[in-house]
Structure 1
């Protein structure tokens, strides 16, 4: 059998190389639409999406679900470190989004040892049904929409696989209309909010992790039944603080490290948003998320007041 960890590492590096070697061209070349949602052509394709429909989840999979730029790579590294500390061995960071690459790369997920750490930006409707049928434990990571939007804007402009925006105003218009990869932030959270009462789904926020990482590490490890001692919590915290992740980003993400780990701040949106733009997001939040489980968890008034 193929060494799954090494194969995964090769797949991941291959995807990073593909992204880096891509020349920025028109949106028509860099993006495609599948079932009404935009995706990056370099990383995703229709054939893989069709193969995903038959993907077999395992009951002990650790599924991480995030809208883009809400702490994805951070939480993935945290889970790798938690599993590594418990198993007392250093795990090779081999994670790619389940929707990335070709069907052959998806097929290699079968060879990965349990527990598999699986991550995705896919919306609820596009996640393989076997994850729901087997009630796989699912961690949803949220971030306030204003900081997520600013981070997404900078990601677009620093990522060769995505179109460049000439101004924040142009990006904001597309973001608020859902004309960005993976679609509308608000639609994404509305769909997941319907699953928040399920015992196998837990949501945490980027902001909670930034302000009190040890508490969130405990919650996450307990949720996945990967209990850590206080000493192990301290070790994982030291290895996965945002500062630590940024310092080693070149080793983990190559030349694109700075694109994946830019600032990681709370409230950076205030340096970019105009007051009318802020009010527009406020109105969207009020319309779609106010009073919901996820809306309450976001602590919107604390982090999104202009």
Structure 2
């Protein structure tokens, strides 16, 4: 029986109580100059980006990318659950160069990443699809707080009372930071529409070069259909006690525009009005359909 997480706060950002309990260790984490950080709001294409980056680093070698589950290949910096080594422990034990994952908003990223001038790949997904995906993830992942009803979860999301805080602050904060640091800011919708073009951006950012054959291989193996069936990427290999894929698979749809199947007309109207206010102070633009 897994007990759902209780929440606490760090600088006004909602996190699990367990993350709050080790916050000093997270904040004082020592990044290395050749670390790569993959940062996203939860359910914005994190695993997809991780697999893409790993395929690039392994030069398209599928076998090498299946050497371990994604959770072991790329430590989840701030995360800890019972019976599993913490993200910090995994990261500290890992030889360089490391690729590390985080959902932290930019202001909570350990300062050593900026001191070491590390590269960061950030992926943002439109709020409505992100919200839908996050809701289903809460339903199936018993390590997260109970989402309540769909209606209640929309409210929590809009007020930022969800894990890792406000989506609005998250995407805007990282968008601003990209002008000061080595951050490649990508959009989920672009990755969906033209994966090859977005992979090219990652290649350039990582200063890697692959031939067309390897590029095709990366595009193919990081497609939703292939990844959904890949036990090293779809979270069916570990965390069985925590994630119930029968409620909703970890890799559910990977679509753009699925929000239309969830929002009522009234919910959509309310969400749009609120969104307009919260996003009035940024140049960031999202697409909610392709």
5+ residue gaps, structure 1, are 1-20
Q: Following the alignment from structure 1 to structure 2, what is the Cα–Cα distance between the partners of residues 88 and 153?
A: 31
Where does residue 60 of structure 1 map in the other structure?
34
Relative distance call for 1:60 and 1:89 in structure 2 (3 A) is farther
Where does residue 194 of structure 1 map in the other structure?
176
Deviation at 1:88, TM superposition (A): 9.2
Q: Following the alignment from structure 1 to structure 2, what is the Cα–Cα distance between the partners of residues 80 and 178?
A: 31
Relative distance call for 1:111 and 1:159 in structure 2 (3 A) is closer
Where does residue 139 of structure 1 map in the other structure?
121
In the superposition, the TM-score normalised over structure 2's length comes to 0.85
Where does residue 273 of structure 2 map in the other structure?
283
Relative distance call for 1:163 and 1:139 in structure 2 (3 A) is same
In the superposition, the TM-score normalised over structure 1's length comes to 0.81
- Whether the 8 Å contact between 1:65 and 1:120 is mirrored in structure 2 is yes
Where does residue 251 of structure 2 map in the other structure?
261
- Whether the 8 Å contact between 2:58 and 2:64 is mirrored in structure 1 is yes
Relative distance call for 1:106 and 1:165 in structure 2 (3 A) is closer
Q: How large is the RMSD of aligned CA atoms in angstroms? A: 2.5
5+ residue gaps, structure 2, are none
Residue 98 of structure 1 pairs with residue 86 of structure 2: no
Relative distance call for 1:287 and 1:86 in structure 2 (3 A) is same
1:217-232 correspondence runs (5 A): 217-232=199-214
Identify which of 163, 185, 202 aligns with 1:181: 163
- Whether the 8 Å contact between 2:75 and 2:91 is mirrored in structure 1 is no
Residue 22 of structure 1 pairs with residue 12 of structure 2: no
Deviation at 1:161, TM superposition (A): 1.2
Deviation at 1:212, TM superposition (A): 1.0
Deviation at 1:163, TM superposition (A): 3.1
Relative distance call for 1:156 and 1:116 in structure 2 (3 A) is same
Mean CA deviation greater in 203-212 or 257-266: 257-266
Q: Following the alignment from structure 2 to structure 1, what is the Cα–Cα distance between the partners of residues 267 and 62?
A: 48
Higher share in helix? 1
Count residues in correspondence: 274
Where does residue 13 of structure 1 map in the other structure?
none
Deviation at 1:22, TM superposition (A): 1.4
- Whether the 8 Å contact between 1:61 and 1:118 is mirrored in structure 2 is yes
Where does residue 10 of structure 1 map in the other structure?
none
